Structure formats: C-alpha cells, structure tokens
Structure 1
Amino acid sequence: MNAPAAARLPTVDTGLSWSNSFAALGPGFYTRLAPRPLPAPCHVASSPDVAQQLGLPAAWLQSEDALRLFSGNALPQGGEPLASVYSGHQFGVWAGQLGDGRALLLGEAQTAHGPQEIQLKGSGLTPYSRMGDGRAVLRSSIREFLCSEAMHALGVPTTRALYLCGSPEPVQREAVETAAVVTRVAPSFIRFGHFEHFAARSQFDALQQLADYVIARFYPECADGADCGGHAGNRYAALLQAVSERSAALVAQWQAVGFCHGVLNTDNMSILGLTIDYGPFQFLDHFDPGHICNHSDRQGRYAYEQQPGVVLWNLYRLGQALQPLIGDPAIAMGALESYRTLYPQHFMQRMRAKLGLGAAHAGDSAVIDGILHLLADQAVDYPIFWRRLSLAVADADFEPVRDLFADRARLDRWLLSFEEHAALSGRAPDADLMLKNNPAIVLRNHLAEQAIRAAQQGDFSELHTLQHLLQRPCEDHPGHEARTGFPPDWAAHLSISCSS
C-alpha cells in the first residue's frame, strides 16, 4: 500500500481543480496509498446540496464515474490520496498512535466556498488500521450520511456527506454485515489528536509546522496573536483560545438540540469546531440529562450532561499538546478560560431562542432551569415538547403541551412563571423564533433504524424520504406524523455502540 498502488487505479475527471495542502506538510504526517476497491458497488444516496457547494453538477452524482470514484475504484485526476497519522485519548486514557484506520483523503477541491477536503470513509486498510479491517458497514454509513446532513440543516457546524455507496462485500462486526463507503467533506479533518501525536513524541518542529499550517489556513486572525484573544505575539495561545471558543459554541448547540455524540475522544474533536465522526450518536427522546447513548460507555463518561465538561477536558489535552509552543503554562490556562465563559453564554442564548425570548434578562436562567428540571422529572419527550410549546405560543392553545405531563399542575405553574417573566422583561415570546429553533423532526435512532433495515433489504426509499425531511427540520411535514411523532416502544431497546 504505497504510491505506486495509486497509479494502478483509473482516474476520473470530476471537473474540479484538485490539490492537497495537507500533503505539503511532508511524509511524517501521513502515508500515501490508494483506496481498496469496493466490489460490485451501488449508489445508495447522495447530497445535491454538497455537490452544489463543491461545484459538481447534481446529475453527475448519478453517473458511473461518480460511483467508481466514491467507491474507491478510481481516483480523481489531480488527487493525492493519503491517510493521516494522529494519536489521542480514548475514554480518558492515552491510546497512543491512532490515525485514519479506514479513511482516505482523496485531496482538496478548490471551490467557490474555499478549499474543501474530500475523504472516503470505509475505503480499506491503512497502516493505521491496527486490529481493524478498514471497512465501514452500511448500517453505520447510513447513520453518518443522514446525521451529517441533518446537523447541517439544523445549523450545527459539521462535516458534510456527499455520497454513500454500498456493496455485498461481507464485513464482520457483532454480526456479518455488508460494506459501504461514505464520502465526507470538510475544510479540514485535522483533529486535536494530530497535535497530541507530535507533542507526545517530542517532535516539536512537526508540531509547530502543523500549528502554523492550521493558523495560516483557518485562523489567520491568530497569526500575530494580538487580534485573537489579545495574546500579543503568542500565536499558539491565540489558536488555543480560538479553538476553545468555537468548541464552546458547538457543544452549546448540541445541548440545546438534545444531541449526544457518544464518543468524544480527543481524536474525534475537530480543530475547526465541527461535529465529526458520527458513531454511537443519538438525539434525545425523553429528556434524561444522564442519558448514555453508547452502550460501550459503561462509566457514562460521554453522557449527555457530561458533554460540556468532557469537551473542556479535551481542550486541556490540546493545550497540553501546544504547551511546548505556547511556553508559559499560565498563558495556556488563560486561553482556555474563554470556554468557561462562553459556553454558558452560548447555551443560554440557544435556550432563550427556544423559548422565543430575545436579549438576555435577569431571571432567564431560573425559567430555563425550571423547565429542564421539569422535563427530566416527568421524562417528557424533548423534541416534541419544544415543538408543541412553539405551536402553543403561535396558536394560544396549550392543551397539547399539558398532555405531555403527568403532573399538569407543575407545568401550569411553570407556564405562569414563564408568562410573568416574559411580561416583566418586556419580551413577549416570539413564536416565529421558537419555530425556527425547535425542529419538528430530528434523526432519532428509530428513524435511522427503519431506514437501515429497509436498506439492508435493498430498499433505499425510506432513507431518501428521511433525507428529504431532515433537510427542512423546522417545517411541519403533513402526512409524516409517524416520523415526527413519539418513538415506538421498541426504540427504547435499540443498542448503539462504537461500531454503529
């Protein structure tokens, strides 16, 4: 698996201009190799929206050339395929060297929206596969494809999904499944773990080279430090603070929408503040702050309510990796303080929007804490509550909201306090704002599971229907009440693990 292997694959002219700025960092950062071709591939789904972003005709996604390229059976003309090396902490424990064990960066496409890296996930063995097989299965690939695009539609920063193909090739997980490849798109797939890798090996020249690359490409405002957190002359502290601030905004959006990532290892943290690596994720059904969506997470490290703290812990690991460049530990600690300050501000801003309230006002936190405690105590469905509350404010009919609570008297007391607080602060709840921030549909586990079960039988229609609905999450979808309503009883027994 080396450079000559890539030459043996045919090439496809995508019409895009390709380069690979990451490859210019040098061979210490990656291994060049070709994907392992996927036998008998078939097109499962694709995203016209991502294609448009890249400058690809949507119709081209249905072509044989697209299938050959995104199944790993061909390479783009001008692409430079490679797998990158990184390390990381997994479940709080140093795991040592990791890397792209089943992913391959095809290259970097030049687009009207700036350079975009295009990566295959499930494209075969790499030097970093360790004990893995380098493949992804159809089940997990459907989940990643749908959730990447669903999160984008919700306004949550995320990697995107361009293409999904399947194959009859058998892959062993908990049971024998079939293979798939999902094509992911992002400005960069660099993770916290990339920095940890070089710091752990005392390869400080490579660490600085990587940091300078990230600053030049993605954080130019941090180049002299002065305009990025006030760290005059310390560009690396400025970078740490900027990443902390993006991460604070990201996790606040997760918490507000009820998203559980499930495996927030440092190698699954994007240096750009994107949601990356969709594995055992879940959107909350009933509101349970202690919910654990990953059955491999026996200690609950990545439970929903733990996510803000875990992201900060991961940022400390990034700060530790950057310490040789920052110099003074006190400066690094100061750069991380921005997360502690900004996360609660971002979270409150998101929750005020869910309540239809505008600018911050004294007493907001009491109202927000009050409803979150009530939702938890009553085990109320999280997405349905917020959507019904939005419609109730719009229609002045709160009975559908009251129907969600066993203890209606407690809800009535909260509704009264909410009304009084809004009146005292001079902010009548804005129903339009609420409807834009409280989706009618999210990718619940049972919805993904229904699409997966049909797809495993060769029927992709449910996947395509879900994809269409999730592109417009905050609109009502008449005729799709089964997809926007309560989860069925069997959904409570779905088990999602790191192989999902």
Structure 2
Amino acid sequence: MTSRYRPDPRFAALGDEYSDPVQPADFPQDQLRWWNGRWAQEVGLDGLDAEARKAHFHRFESLPDNQSEPRAIRYHGHQFRTYNPQIGDGRGFLFAQLRDSQDRLLDLGTKGSGQTPYSRSGDGRLTLKGAVREVLASEMLEALGVYTSKTFAIYETGEQLHRGDEPSPTRSAVMTRLQHSHLRFGVFQRHAYFERPDLIAELVEYAITRLVPEAADMGEDRAAALLRAVTERSARLAAQWMAAGFVHGVLNTDNLVVTGESFDYGPWRFLPHFEPGFTAAYFDEQGLYAYARQPESVFWALQQLAGALSLVGDREALIAALETYPEHYKREIVTAFHHRLGLETKGDDSDSALVGGLLNASRALEIPFEALFFDWFCGDASRERALQSQRGALYRDDQFASVLNKLTERTPLRPERLSHPYFNKDAPVHMTIERMESVWAPIADRDDWFALEQTLTDVAEARAAYDLGRGRVGFLAE
C-alpha cells in the first residue's frame, strides 16, 4: 500500500441488521483482464504486485485495516414498479471502504463474486461479456461527464456459465467496482417494510455524515434534508444520462443510490441518434425505462424513497423536498447539454430553446448522437470543422439552420480544448451496440482482446480531450 491508502470501514460498523457476512466463491482461474491504474493510484492501491492483486481482488482477502470479511448488503426494491422483498446482494458484496484524496468515503463492491443469502436460485456469477460491458459503460460515461462508478478490476474465473439470453456455455468473470456508496434506495425500503424506524434513522445519519454532507444544511428534519439533497443529486444524474445519450435500462429502486451516481450496467445502450422511445432492455416491452422516460423514472423512485423515510421524517417536509425535483432537473438538463457542447449558458429561456432545437434537428436528420457533440464542441469555434466533416451535408440542411444560428451565438467554454488531437479525427469514439458487439466478438471467437484495448484507448483520449470532469461535483477526483 502507498501513503494514499486510507482504510475506513464504516458500513460494517453499523452492525448485522444492515448486511450479512459472506464467503467469496473459490474460482478455478485468475486471469487479470482489467486493472484501473488511474483509480488504483487515487486510492493508494497502485503499489500492489500481481500476487497481491489476486489476493485482494480475486480471492477477496481483506485489505489491511479494512473490513474483516465481505458483507452482502440487505435491501428490497421496486423492480419495474413491482415491490420485491426477496432481493438483496445476490451476486456481490461490499468488500472494503476507504478515503479518496479529498477525504470522501468510497466503497469497493463486487459483482459475480459468488452466492449469498439473497442469491435465490441464481449462481452468483457474472459472465465475462457482462464484465466487458461494465468497463465499456463506466469508462465511456466518465469520458462524457456522467457521475459514474468506476470499474476497478476484472478477473476471468474459468467457469462455464449457462444463461438464457446469450450463447451458452459462456465464460465467467468477477468484477470489483469503486464508487462513493452502495447505499441504495432499496436499503431504506427494506427497513420500512419491516417497520424499523430505528434502523432507518441510523441510515439517515450515516448518509448525511458520511456520504451527502450538504444535507446537514438543508433543514432541521434530518430525513427531509437527506431527501432534498438526494433529489438534487438524482436530478443531476438523470440530466447527465440524457446529455450522454445513455439508456440505463433498469432504473429499479435498488439500482439508484443516495449519492446520485450511476452504477450497475446490465442491458445499457447509447443512442445511435436522438430517439425518445429508445429502450435498452429486450424485456422492457412497455418502454418503462426508455431514454426519454428516465427522468420520470428517477422521480418515481425518489417518491418510493420518501415513502420509506416517512417512518422517521415529517410528511410535509418530505413532500416539499420531492417538489424541488422539476426545478432541479430543468436547471440540470440545460447545464448538462451545454457542458457537453462546451458552451456557456445564458441563464434565460434561450438555453432550453437551443437544447430542444438541437435534439429536434438531430432526430429529423438522424445525425449520429455522439458525432453531433463532437462536431459542434465549443460551438462556432468548430464551425469549419463540422461543415467539412462526413456529416457536413446534414449541417447545411435547412432543418439545421436555426440551430446553427443558436450554436454560433454562444460563448465557447475553454475552447483551447479543441487543440487536442482527438478533434482532428473524422469521427468520435462511440459506444452504440454495434461497437460494443464488435469489441466482444473477437474475445468470444479467438480470445483476441485487441479491439477492447483499442476502444478503451480511444475512450481515454476522448476523456482527456473533453476534460468534462474538471470541477464537477461528484467525480472521484477533480
């Protein structure tokens, strides 16, 4: 460990009412497939050699002065708006907690690490393809300015898994993610279900003290203050997803956390072009979690959190906290889209008009979603580059004319970023389903990892070029 390693196992200290001790699976193979060197350095784990990495992130032996054993967190949740009291950490656990360079508490949690008391009929495993999808989603979202968990480590584990939604048998993996918290809305729901206001009150204090410190200044009613802060953070996350063209796919209450960060990437998709009804999950037959319904879904989940908090908080204060969501979202959606465009906002109705016009023109002309922001980054400063691009004819179309005027009226934000070599490319890196499958196919066919490595290199270049994380609340490091 380096001096930056600062263990702080706070959640386990809350006691056995919140989690259960579990044993990780004994895997037959330990092939390291991904190690996040950037974030390992941030939390002081960059000094681990190959054997130490395997010990801690494949066998899950305890990190020094950290949790003595893995803990499967207890939670319930609404899944596609149907309450399910039979869930919890079924194939993962909280492995460790530590501090970042800004003294913020972080979790190391797993996916695919074996069965727990909440596995039900599941095998507690993760497919290798699922792990690859996790790292592609988290790396791309970080590059696009979304407050996201970070895929920290992936080991291929050597087991053959059978799944009904992909060719089987298929390869297996175990993944560790780094994020500020795994305190899901469903954790509060579980304790409300069992009518334990004492446990909810303790969770509220843990969240305010350890995770969402701004809530301490948002009112005397602690539960309502927490909800107010979580509502603002969640509105920001929903807006960031929309600006990234990202569809999470499964916005159940157990997949949303109080810190307002994005995590758990199963059937995600990125938009090929702007389409409000675009869905990610093949089983979302009604489009409940379609792209344009994500802000509504987040608000619905916040209402369920409020219901659980009503056991310890004032009802009117909780309602007042929820009612702030529309204004927060209205502000954050404008901020997120302008942030992606590299433009300053004007602070008036023209901000929303620009975003709406841009999306309408994008839909009518079927402009690739990611290319639109790449071509017009920093507005008028990219005019010549955009008009000479592969998509130049679309931008000369009459349907784009009014948007072009609005774009060129805006002041660029840090236009020096356009000097990055990334903006000399003909097209940006994107993560549509076709790109994702093209990464996975050579791995599945001949164990060829070059396409994944190249794609992650391209994403890292985009992250450096856009530099969207600088100064943004919620990123692990700024």
- Give the TM interval when normalised to the shorter protein: 0.7 to 0.9
Structure 1 residues 373 and 69, CA gap change in structure 2 (3 angstroms): same
Aligned to 2:163: 173
Structure 1 residues 385 and 219, CA gap change in structure 2 (3 angstroms): closer
Candidates 419, 424, 440, aligned match of 1:452: 440
Residue 84 in structure 1 maps to residue 73 in structure 2: yes
Give a deviation string over 1:163-202, Cα, whole Å, max 9, x none. Answer: 1111221111122211101111122211000001101111
CA distance in 2 between partners of 1:429 and 1:220 (Å): 33
Give a deviation string over 1:445-499, Cα, whole Å, max 9, x none. Answer: 222222222233322222222222212325679xxxxxxxxxxxxxxxxxxxxxx
Aligned to 2:398: 409
Structure 1 residues 366 and 402, CA gap change in structure 2 (3 angstroms): same
Aligned to 1:36: 25
Residue 463 in structure 1 maps to residue 452 in structure 2: yes
Aligned to 2:124: 134
Aligned to 2:330: 344
The alpha-carbon deviation at position 409 of structure 1 amounts to 2.1
Aligned to 1:335: 321
Which sits farther off after the overlay, 405-414 or 43-52? 405-414
Q: SS of the counterpart of 1:196?
A: helix
Which sits farther off after the overlay, 33-42 or 240-249? 33-42
Give a deviation string over 1:117-140, Cα, whole Å, max 9, x none. Answer: 212211110001112110001001
The alpha-carbon deviation at position 19 of structure 1 amounts to 4.5
Give a deviation string over 1:293-348, Cα, whole Å, max 9, x none. Answer: 11110010000000011100000010111011113x22111001221111111111
CA distance in 2 between partners of 1:222 and 1:385 (Å): 37
Aligned to 2:293: 306
Which sits farther off after the overlay, 103-112 or 287-296? 103-112
Does structure 1 retain, via aligned residues, the 8 Å contact 2:110–2:175? yes
CA distance in 1 between partners of 2:263 and 2:376 (Å): 31
Which sits farther off after the overlay, 345-354 or 428-437? 428-437
Aligned to 1:211: 204
Aligned to 1:193: 186
Which sits farther off after the overlay, 376-385 or 30-39? 376-385
Candidates 387, 403, 415, aligned match of 1:432: 415
The alpha-carbon deviation at position 71 of structure 1 amounts to 1.6
Correspondence 1:322-401 to 2 at 5 A: 322-327=309-314, 329-353=315-339, 354=341, 356-390=343-377, 393-397=380-384, 398-400=387-389
Correspondence 1:263-342 to 2 at 5 A: 263-327=250-314, 329-342=315-328
The one-letter code of the counterpart of 2:196 is Q
Structure 1 residues 203 and 375, CA gap change in structure 2 (3 angstroms): same
Candidates 37, 40, 46, aligned match of 1:51: 40
The alpha-carbon deviation at position 152 of structure 1 amounts to 2.4
CA distance in 2 between partners of 1:352 and 1:108 (Å): 35
The one-letter code of the counterpart of 1:380 is I
Structure 1 residues 133 and 417, CA gap change in structure 2 (3 angstroms): same
Give a deviation string over 1:355-404, Cα, whole Å, max 9, x none. Answer: 72433234332232122112112222111122122388335422537646
CA distance in 1 between partners of 2:10 and 2:35 (Å): 26
Structure 1 residues 433 and 266, CA gap change in structure 2 (3 angstroms): farther
Structure 1 residues 93 and 40, CA gap change in structure 2 (3 angstroms): same
Aligned to 1:484: none
| Structure 1 gap ranges (5+) | 1-12, 478-500
The one-letter code of the counterpart of 1:375 is S
Does structure 2 retain, via aligned residues, the 8 Å contact 1:101–1:127? yes
CA distance in 2 between partners of 1:109 and 1:395 (Å): 42
CA-atom RMSD in angstroms: 2.7
CA distance in 1 between partners of 2:382 and 2:245 (Å): 25
Which sits farther off after the overlay, 77-86 or 22-31? 77-86
Does structure 1 retain, via aligned residues, the 8 Å contact 2:32–2:154? yes
**TM-score with structure 2 setting the length:** 0.87
Does structure 2 retain, via aligned residues, the 8 Å contact 1:222–1:238? yes
The alpha-carbon deviation at position 90 of structure 1 amounts to 0.5
CA distance in 2 between partners of 1:460 and 1:401 (Å): 29
How many residue pairs get aligned? The number is 450
Which sits farther off after the overlay, 406-415 or 135-144? 406-415
CA distance in 2 between partners of 1:17 and 1:434 (Å): 34
CA distance in 1 between partners of 2:248 and 2:73 (Å): 23
Does structure 2 retain, via aligned residues, the 8 Å contact 1:72–1:123? no
The one-letter code of the counterpart of 1:122 is G
| Structure 2 gap ranges (5+) | 467-478
Correspondence 1:97-108 to 2 at 5 A: 97-108=86-97
The alpha-carbon deviation at position 17 of structure 1 amounts to 5.3
Structure 1 residues 14 and 71, CA gap change in structure 2 (3 angstroms): farther
CA distance in 2 between partners of 1:414 and 1:293 (Å): 29
Candidates 149, 153, 163, aligned match of 1:163: 153
The alpha-carbon deviation at position 411 of structure 1 amounts to 1.9
